[in-house]
Amino acid sequence: MFFIFVKTIHLFAAFIYGGFLITDNLFLNKMSKTLDAQEHEKARKSFMIFVRKLVPPSLLIAVITGLYLISQIFGSISEEGMSHFQMMLALKAFLGIWLGVRGFMQVYLKIQPLVFKGHQLPFVFVLTIIFLSQFMYLD
């Protein structure tokens, strides 16, 4: 029962973080084509007021609960090496931890990334995590 509770929290937190990245990359960046610079800046600022309160904690919750979930389902590595499931799960974990460390450093430690300053790479990572979650159970 606890596992299902943590998994539900993980999914909600991941939806919040992923939803922000989808909104930012697919919609907010395109608004500058239909709004003048001042209107675009005002709309983006208004949106980001709420984002800064909700998204960073959601990302950290997604990473922490994800680590717990992995600890419960990864299993032991056989003598032949990792299974297909374990390899996909390990890749998902790497991408998720990268997102979490980057987000923590940027928001809480105020360390800005040297490269990949926008939200395009995190967006690609989130999409990759989503696709990996669909293919990791295939053998």
pLDDT by residue (tens digit) across 67-105? 999 999 999 999 999 999 999 999 999 999 999 999 999
What is residue 77's DSSP assignment? P
For residue 133, the model assigns a pLDDT of 92
The encoded tokens of residue 84 equal: 């297909």
Mean pLDDT of successive 10-residue stretches along the chain, which has 139 residues: 96 95 87 88 88 94 97 94 94 96 92 82 94 87
CA distance 73 to 92: 13
**Is 116 in a helix, a strand, or coil?**
coil
Contact assessment for residue 130 and residue 95, using Cβ atoms and an 8 Å cutoff? no
Torsion sign over Cα 39, 40, 41, 42: positive
Q: What is the pTM of this model?
A: 0.87
Q: Where are the domains of the chain?
A: 2-135
Q: What angle do CA 49, 51, 54 make, to 5 degrees?
A: 115
For residue 29, the model assigns a pLDDT of 81
Contact assessment for residue 55 and residue 95, using Cβ atoms and an 8 Å cutoff? no
**Is 139 in a helix, a strand, or coil?**
coil
Closest CA to 14 of 67, 50, 76, 84: 67
